[in-house]
């Protein structure tokens, strides 16, 4: 609908485009800053988002952020560094820190704060100022395909206290934390990268189950909240949360009293892009109350130029008010200034990666029908059940027991089943033959969500009840053999901790 004379913008087109530069956060491809990003930063682009594909090591990342900052000294540089299964800084090796479920299992908020503080030190050392963490979702649906071990747990009180601890630890490192995914992605069975999930709970249940961690994050000083691409009929039957004024303005701003930065999850995700298109999702998110729109790293200069023009044109057409766009731009700039000031008030921490391994060891839980099965008395046959990749866990980040167990027990033989491999009796017979005369270790990840993996486990354990199962995802109630080890995450240090137990090299006191 055309803008009426009363709502027609008073700013020139160039001024509207300048405001758009403050509310859009693109990613980019490559380990050096492309020319288009440099040019946009020099022209006023206010923030960028780094992904694993932008990061090789600390030295390269520091050089990259320095180059970005040389074009705009006020730039806000963000990253998704949750630790655990979701790492960008350690994409090539796997994280040196366990993720949220492991920390929630230990249930020591001071440990959670210390881990966040150490991760914050890693971010600060390479020039990153905003971390899209912690994940404040309550994983109330065990079949959740996208949250799982990224959540501190299924109890809202536990998740709330650890969310608050993470925020404090990150801020004490001089890095801005961002609680996500508001108002809660835990009670879903669909990955919003691929489709639009629906949350069927009523408003009272959401307030009881999903909102406490976000309230705790705000009480702990969080100045940024990331929205979720979820349809929540209890609030808005037609618009996903990211583009819903009822969720962003009424619930988050007015009911929870949040006056900080509202960030969208990436609008490249199909949950909103398939419904509205990239430009449509961007404009609707801003109109609903989002201040900073994440674009992912699939966009280049042409698409970015189209989006900033779409934002300006939406103001001209009256779909987005000039006041709302100016408010979003001002809030984003204020947040960036606040983060810079925060970093100036606290010393840069020295990261302590030994803390991560210690935390992973504390998170291990062992259920033994035959305690004599541990430690292994000879090199094992390790069967690792592949898992399908997800967009949030992209970049080929390694996981599992293999590297650590073969290092601790030379002679261990590894075999990997393809992701979602259907049960094959002949293949099972070959595995059993190869395992004859040696221990058998079965490494799985979220076996409770994978019927084919459960079938493999039942068949192999029927012939080898002395086998050991290691679950590197959300613990399951299925068969575990003589011993089952739950790591509560698949980070490198979680695999290391489990390998130490298998090899009889676990350290006491951890």
For residues 97 and 411, give the distance between their C-alpha atoms in angstroms, rounded to a whole number: 28
Residues marked as catalytic: 193, 265
Give whole-number Cα distances, 77 to 64, 83, 195, 253, 284, in Å: 11, 18, 28, 25, 24
Q: Structure tokens of 305?
A: 């130029």
Q: Which residue has the tokens 């059993």?
A: 432
User: How do strand 76-79 and strand 47-50 relate by DSSP bridges?
Assistant: parallel
Q: Is 380 within 8 Å of 401 (Cβ atoms)?
A: no
Where does residue 280 rank: exposed (0-12), middle (13-18), buried (19+ CB within 10 A)?
A: middle
**Side-chain-facing half-sphere of 366: CA atoms under 13 Å:** 20
Q: Is 447 within 8 Å of 486 (Cβ atoms)?
A: no
Q: Is 231 within 8 Å of 274 (Cβ atoms)?
A: no
Q: Which residue has the tokens 């700039």?
A: 333
DSSP 351-375: P-HHHHHHHHHHH-EEEESSGGG-S
For residues 509 and 359, give the distance between their C-alpha atoms in angstroms, rounded to a whole number: 11
- Partners of residue 182 on adjacent β-strands: 227
Where does residue 450 rank: exposed (0-12), middle (13-18), buried (19+ CB within 10 A)?
A: buried
Q: Structure tokens of 163?
A: 């969310």
Q: What angle do CA 63, 36, 22 make, to 5 degrees?
A: 90
Where does residue 254 rank: exposed (0-12), middle (13-18), buried (19+ CB within 10 A)?
A: exposed
């Amino acid at each position: 609908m055309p803008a009426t004379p009363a709502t027609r913008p008073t700013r020139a087109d160039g001024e509207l485009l300048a405001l758009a530069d403050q509310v859009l956060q693109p990613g980019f491809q490559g380990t050096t800053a492309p020319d288009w990003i440099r040019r946009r930063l020099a022209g006023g682009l206010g923030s960028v988002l780094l992904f694993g594909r932008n990061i090789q090591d600390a030295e390269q990342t520091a050089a990259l952020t320095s180059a970005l900052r040389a074009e705009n000294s006020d730039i806000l540089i963000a990253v998704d560094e949750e630790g655990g299964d979701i790492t960008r800084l350690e994409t090539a090796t796997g994280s040196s820190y366990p993720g949220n479920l492991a920390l929630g299992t230990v249930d020591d908020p001071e440990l959670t704060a210390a881990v966040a503080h150490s991760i914050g030190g890693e971010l600060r050392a390479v020039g990153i100022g905003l971390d899209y963490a912690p994940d404040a979702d309550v994983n109330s649906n065990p079949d959740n395909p996208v949250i799982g071990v990224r959540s501190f747990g299924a109890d809202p009180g536990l998740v709330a206290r650890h969310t608050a601890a993470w925020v404090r630890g990150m801020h004490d490192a001089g890095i801005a934390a961002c609680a996500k995914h508001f108002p809660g992605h835990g009670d879903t069975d669909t990955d919003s990268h691929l489709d639009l999930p629906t949350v069927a709970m009523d408003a009272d249940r959401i307030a009881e189950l999903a909102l406490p961690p976000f309230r705790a994050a705000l009480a702990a000083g969080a100045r940024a909240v990331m929205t979720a691409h979820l349809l929540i009929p209890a609030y808005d039957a037609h618009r996903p949360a990211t583009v819903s004024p009822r969720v962003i303005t009424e619930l988050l701003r007015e009911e929870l009293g949040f006056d900080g930065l509202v960030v969208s999850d990436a609008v490249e995700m199909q949950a909103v892009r398939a419904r509205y298109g990239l430009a449509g999702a961007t404009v609707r998110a801003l109109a609903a109350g989002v201040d900073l729109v994440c674009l992912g790293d699939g966009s280049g200069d042409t698409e970015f130029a189209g989006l900033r023009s779409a934002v300006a044109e939406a103001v001209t057409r009256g779909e987005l008010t000039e006041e709302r766009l100016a408010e979003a731009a001002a809030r984003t700039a204020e947040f960036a200034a606040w983060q810079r000031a925060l970093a100036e008030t606290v010393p840069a921490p020295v990261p302590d990666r030994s803390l991560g391994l210690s935390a992973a060891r504390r998170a291990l839980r062992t259920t033994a029908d035959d305690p004599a099965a541990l430690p292994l008395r000879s090199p094992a046959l390790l069967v690792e059940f592949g898992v399908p990749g997800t967009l949030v866990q992209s970049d080929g980040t390694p996981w599992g027991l293999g590297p650590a167990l073969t290092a601790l027990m030379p002679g261990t033989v590894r075999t990997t089943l393809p992701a979602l491999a259907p049960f094959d009796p002949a293949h099972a017979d070959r595995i059993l033959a190869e395992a004859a005369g040696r221990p058998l270790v079965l490494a799985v990840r979220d076996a409770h969500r994978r019927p084919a993996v459960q079938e493999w486990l039942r068949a192999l354990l029927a012939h080898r009840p002395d086998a050991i199962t290691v679950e590197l995802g959300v613990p399951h109630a299925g068969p575990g053999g003589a011993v089952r080890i739950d790591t509560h995450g698949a980070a490198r240090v979680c695999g290391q901790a489990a390998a130490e137990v298998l090899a009889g090299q676990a350290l006491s006191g951890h």
